[in-house]
């Protein structure tokens, strides 16, 4: 492998480590919020990809709302990772999402809020 290939491979590893860390931090925040607000940490969380305006509306309706703001290409990967680690299956719409679609629709946030029954 030449230096350019090693640099690309290293960049991909660094990006994956960044995404893994973002997902871990987000899940850690979910657990802390669950504890702080007195509900089970393994309870259901609704996950949404949201624009700035949608985040404003989510915060009016739900409490707590945990969010993470990322660029579209990272946002999609972290969203998929978080859903997987919460044991939530990806539906057809999730599988068809692309980072280009997220950028076009100005989706910048991964938002989570508890599902109340």
The pLDDT of residue 29: 94
The pLDDT of residue 16: 92
HSE of 17 in the Cβ direction (CA atoms, 13 Å)?
6
Structural domain boundaries of the chain? 3-114
Q: Model pTM greater than 0.75? A: yes
Low-confidence residues of the chain, pLDDT below 70?
A: 1-10, 40-43, 117
The pLDDT of residue 70: 96
Q: How far apart are CA 38 and CA 59, in angstroms?
A: 19
Q: Residue 43: is the preceding peptide bond cis (ω within 30°)?
A: no
Kindly list the distances between the CA atom of residue 117 and the CA atoms of 17, 43, 45, in Å, as whole numbers in the listed order.
Answer: 36, 11, 11
Burial class (CB in 10 A: 0-12, 13-18, 19+), 103: middle
The pLDDT of residue 59: 96
Kindly list the distances between the CA atom of residue 31 and the CA atoms of 11, 13, 40, 73, 96, in Å, as whole numbers in the listed order.
Answer: 30, 27, 8, 25, 29
The pLDDT of residue 44: 84
The pLDDT of residue 9: 53
């Amino acid at each position: 492998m030449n230096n350019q290939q090693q640099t690309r491979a290293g960049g991909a590893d660094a990006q994956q480590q960044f995404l893994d860390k973002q997902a871990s931090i987000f899940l850690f925040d979910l657990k802390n919020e669950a504890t702080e607000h007195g509900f089970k940490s393994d309870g259901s969380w609704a996950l949404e990809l949201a624009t700035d305006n949608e985040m404003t509306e989510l915060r009016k309706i739900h409490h707590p709302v945990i969010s993470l703001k990322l660029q579209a290409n990272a946002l999609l990967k972290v969203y998929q990772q978080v859903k997987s680690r919460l044991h939530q299956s990806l539906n057809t719409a999730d599988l068809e999402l692309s980072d280009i679609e997220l950028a076009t629709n100005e989706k910048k946030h991964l938002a989570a809020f508890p599902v109340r029954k």
